[in-house]
Chains A and B, each alone.
Chain A
């Protein structure tokens, strides 16, 4: 009989074994994912203080790893909030440790991304990572650490403290990893360009292993309002969350429990709900049986009178900034932007923002260029499966005078406390009817604006052409008839040309 052994694995061990789900599938994807995770941490860190991000990324060549892959050193510097010294080892050396578990829109969520990058670097190069950070106070801290994968604990190899004479604030993360930059390059550059598009207030500098410098300069210092934290909405809770709330609640009756732990539930709504679900207001939540908790969850979803979640926990880019970003990175001739009113799916608030851009430097590639974003992160993979792409493909573009040969780009940004990703890989948005409807309505609005623009331009073009025809042929008719009639001086046709210019002439 075979012997079966049971073992418990740590969180870092789990993610180490399943690194695919975090995007570290192969040397090409890994190098892309590492840059992306660190840049997003930096953006979050600066935005949390509402300071225009200043991010410097350097990838340098260290040596050959195999025929296909190389060793690179990745360094990312930012001017963000910095990490308090006592949290540095865990923030960068312990999987599932993070400051972003609260319910508001953020890029990171699991306390995972940055660590996966460091973990990947560690297992491919066996080198420690260096973290330098300061919150802007009198000291700067430097840590060299590795991750103890089995125990999911940081191992601190070195720690130094410097005086922060210049009042620097920010974070530097540096480590080595294996990767294939040449293959990853197109996606990485695309990632920076698109990041610059939805973060038009950020300065991003990238120096690649060949020493090439890519600079994305901010076009504004205006930043969107940071999101506020919210309580969970009753439509969005699951049994897991209910149990956690019951564990930590200081309230010992259902009425107070509901009023204090849920978004959009006040005295009146809470009473109505308790009556609806036949639960006594004075019942102690800690006494609820498992069956009762399950029933409570179902009743919460069934009750029709909860107000929809408000969107203060969201931080959309806003029409102005979206426009700035599109103009800056795509340099189109025309752009229309539109922000939808907040909506919800399954109790999660979300906002869709769309833009359509035409002409200028947008390439004419025989189809619409699609840029997808979620919480200001570009989504670069699996475009075909994304709900936006489906909506775009199903639209009747002819109605808006749009033909496939036109240089057109569409931007779809969805922000939410819980982006409806289809997979853990955070690459495309699932096809949910509520989301689909918002995207479709948004696109119709900007498509209409584009249509107006195209019609107007067509009109101007036609007028210009008309005038061209008149100013080409009237002088010729004058010239030929003068010669034919044997006259010396040609007739004055300026008046005629002026009248074409001023009133247009009947015809067509």
Chain B
């Protein structure tokens, strides 16, 4: 499996794929044809939930982008440019953000209408080549963080071979390109705890949760960025660590956990971003009742979201989800993680956390 190949090997593979992509187009042009490419369609009718992988995947429908078609011409040129740009980034081992891509294009007179357009083209490239943008050294702006006893070895230029223990900074270490491309050396941890909110992440570090529970703490900072999801997957797959996710007790928090577990429809063209055996440990709707947490009412948008999620195939995998959705609908209340403070600042660490870890323990 790709993810177990070394970081260096994977980079080589990415470069060869990009080169071949360029060659295919070059040859079509050289033979006097209007070049075209084919790729899986990402339209909603072609996105299926695959219970085997426990994630969304793309079906067999394919689309053809031909330079014979005037409407495809510009996106085609943008795609080839993005491939070239990615090639340069990857081979020079430089990274760039989605925003950078948007601006860099202007230097080549390849203006994108807006950030959305350039993001779409990057997704096209991912779909065509079957690699994710992080493989092309393109990262989103939002960053999450990790803290815990894990030693990593950098592969980025200038730091190659240097190691770092992820407890070395009390605020945690940012999950950026350097960390994503680092190799795991060793760890004493026996689990991963992912946390939605920065406040609680800091509290956990202060309360020595990593020591008390032998855990690597990951801050998702809301919806986890892809790099973070990939990172969590690596912790799970490469180190064999169980993953427990703590979010707010509302439909949105529930979905943050779900995306880490089963991925999103937007990334149906990609693998390696999900952690199917991760657990959503709380805050559940039933916890709200059980722990008598201070709550807010669910508003109309919350309720609408619940109805959507109820029908979502990902939520039909485990009866837990349907039970929690129903409970939310019944109590019509939601609670934030901070709500536990009503029982004192350490209650969540001393009482709630151990109870939930036990309740959602891997079999």
Task: List A residues at the B interface (Cβ < 8 Å).
Answer: 466, 469-470, 473-474, 476-478, 480-487, 491-493, 495-496, 505-508
B106, CB-defined interface residue at 8 Å:
no
Instruction: Give the residue name and chain of the B residue nearest to A474 (CB).
Output: B67
- Contact: B80 with A491, CB < 8 Å? no
**In the complex, A487→B20 CA distance in Å?**
12
* B83 x A480 contact (CB < 8 A): yes
Residues of A with C-beta under 8 A to B81: 476, 480
Closest chain-B Cβ to A95's Cβ sits at a distance in Å of: 73
Cα-based distance from A466 to B71 in the complex (angstroms): 10
The distance in angstroms between the C-alpha atoms of A469 and B34, with both chains bound, is 14
Given contacts A473-B76, A507-B69, 20 further A-B contacts (CB under 8 A): A469-B73, A469-B74, A473-B67, A476-B80, A476-B108, A476-B109, A477-B25, A478-B26, A480-B84, A481-B23, A483-B84, A484-B19, A484-B26, A484-B83, A491-B29, A493-B29, A496-B29, A505-B69, A506-B69, A508-B71
Pair B21/A484 contact, Cβ less than 8 Å: yes
What residue of chain B has the Cβ atom nearest to residue A478's Cβ? B29
- Nearest-CB distance from A140 to chain B (Å)? 74
Is B68 engaged at the interface, CB distance under 8 Å to the other chain?
A: yes
Interface of B with A (CB < 8 Å)? Answer: 18-19, 21-23, 25-26, 29-30, 32, 34-35, 67-71, 73-74, 76-77, 80-81, 83-84, 87, 108-110
Measured between alpha carbons, how far is A408 from B30 in the docked complex, in Å? 49
Checking B29, B69, B71 against A481 with a beta-carbon cut-off of 8 angstroms, the contacting residue is: B29
- Contacts of B25 on A, CB cut-off 8 Å? 477, 481, 484-485
- Would you mind naming 27 contact pairs between A and B with Cβ atoms under 8 Å apart? A469-B73, A469-B74, A473-B67, A474-B73, A476-B80, A476-B110, A477-B76, A477-B80, A478-B26, A478-B29, A480-B84, A482-B22, A482-B26, A484-B18, A484-B23, A484-B83, A484-B87, A486-B22, A487-B26, A491-B26, A492-B30, A492-B32, A496-B29, A505-B34, A506-B68, A507-B68, A508-B70
Residues A473 and B77 in contact, CB atoms below 8 Å apart: yes
Contact A507 B70 (CB under 8 A): yes
Complex alpha-carbon distance, A492 and B73, angstroms: 17
**Judging by beta carbons under 8 Å apart, are A477 and B67 in contact?**
yes
Cα separation A409 to B71 with both chains bound (whole Å): 36
Chain A residues, CB < 8 A from B22: 480-486
Instruction: Select from chain A the residue with minimum beta-carbon distance to B110.
Output: A476
B69 & A476 in contact (Cβ 8 Å cutoff): no
State whether A485 touches B26 (Cβ < 8 A): yes
Best-surrounded residue of A473, A482, A492 (most CB of chain B within 10 A): A473
**Contacting pair A481 B26 (CB below 8 A):** yes
In the assembly, what is the distance between CA of A495 and CA of B81, in Å?
22
Shortest distance from the beta carbon of A203 to any chain B beta carbon, whole Å: 53
Question: What residue in chain A is nearest B32 (Cβ atoms)?
Answer: A495
A485 and B23 CA atoms in complex are apart in Å by: 5
State the CA gap A485–B35 with chains docked (Å). Answer: 14
How long is the Cα–Cα vector from A448 to B248 in the complex, in angstroms? Answer: 67
Task: Chain A residues near B68: list those with CB within 8 A.
Answer: 505-507
Q: Which residues of chain B are within 8 angstroms of A481 by Cβ–Cβ distance? A: 22-23, 25-26, 29, 35, 80
Q: Which residues of A contact B69 (CB under 8 A)?
A: 505-507
Please indicate the chain A residues that have their CB under 8 angstroms from the CB of B109 in the complex. 476
Q: Cβ of A473: which chain B residues have Cβ within 8 Å of it? A: 67, 73-74, 76-77
Complex formed: what's the CA distance from A12 to B77 in Å? 83
CB neighbours (8 Å) of A507 from chain B are 68-71
- Inter-chain CA distance A480–B29, complex, in Å, is 12
B32 CB contacts on chain A under 8 angstroms: 492, 495-496
Q: Which of B30, B67, B84 contacts A484 (CB 8 A)?
A: B84
A491 to B18, CA, bound (A): 18
Partner pick for A469 among B18, B35, B70, CB 8 A cutoff: B70
Give chain B residues whose Cβ lies under 8 Å from the Cβ of A483: 22, 84
Cβ–Cβ < 8 Å partners of A484 in chain B: 18-19, 21-23, 25-26, 80, 83-84, 87
Which of B70, B71, B76, B83: most chain A CB closer than 10 A?
A: B70
Name B20's closest neighbour in chain A (CB-CB): A485
Whether B80 pairs with A480 at a CB distance below 8 angstroms is yes
**Which residues on B sit within 8 Å (CB–CB) of A470?**
70, 73
Q: Residues of A contacting B77 with CB < 8 Å?
A: 473, 476-477, 480
* Min distance, Cβ A505 to any Cβ of chain B, angstroms: 6
6 closest A-B pairs (Cβ-Cβ)? A484-B22, A491-B29, A491-B30, A481-B25, A485-B22, A485-B23
Instruction: Note all chain A residues with C-beta closer than 8 A to B18.
Output: 484
The residue of chain A having its C-beta at the shortest distance from the C-beta of B21 within the complex is A484
How far is A302 from B80 in the complex, measured between Cα atoms in Å? Answer: 83
Q: A493–B108 Cα gap in the complex (Å)?
A: 19
CA distance A477 to B29 in the complex (A): 9
A391 to B: closest C-beta gap in Å: 42
Which chain B residues lie closer than 8 Å to A505 at the CB level?
34, 68-70
A487–B22 Cα gap in the complex (Å)? 10
State the CA gap A491–B28 with chains docked (Å). 9
Report how far A473 CA is from B35 CA in the complex, Å. Answer: 12
List of A residues within 8 angstroms of B83 by Cβ: 480, 484
CA separation between A473 and B111, bound complex, in Å? 12
- Residue numbers in B under 8 Å from A477 (CB-CB): 25, 29, 35, 67, 76-77, 80
Among the interface residues B23, B29, B35, B76, which one has the most CB atoms of the partner chain A within 10 A? Answer: B29
CB B344 to nearest CB in A, in angstroms, measures 60
| Nearest B residue (CB) for A470 | B73
Q: In whole angstroms, how far apart are the Cα atoms of A480 and B21 in the complex?
A: 11
| Max count, chain B CB within 10 A of own CB: residue among A469, A477, A487 | A477
Interchain CA distance A485-B87 in the complex, whole Å:
10
List of B residues within 8 angstroms of A476 by Cβ: 77, 80-81, 108-110
| Chain A residues in 8 Å Cβ range of B70 | 466, 469-470, 505, 507-508
List chain A residues, Cβ under 8 A from B87.
484
Chain B neighbourhood of A506, CB < 8 A: 68-69
Neighbouring A residues of B34 by C-beta, 8 Å: 496, 505
The smallest beta-carbon distance between B20 and chain A, in angstroms, is 8
- B29: chain A residues within 8 A (beta carbon): 477-478, 481, 491, 493, 496
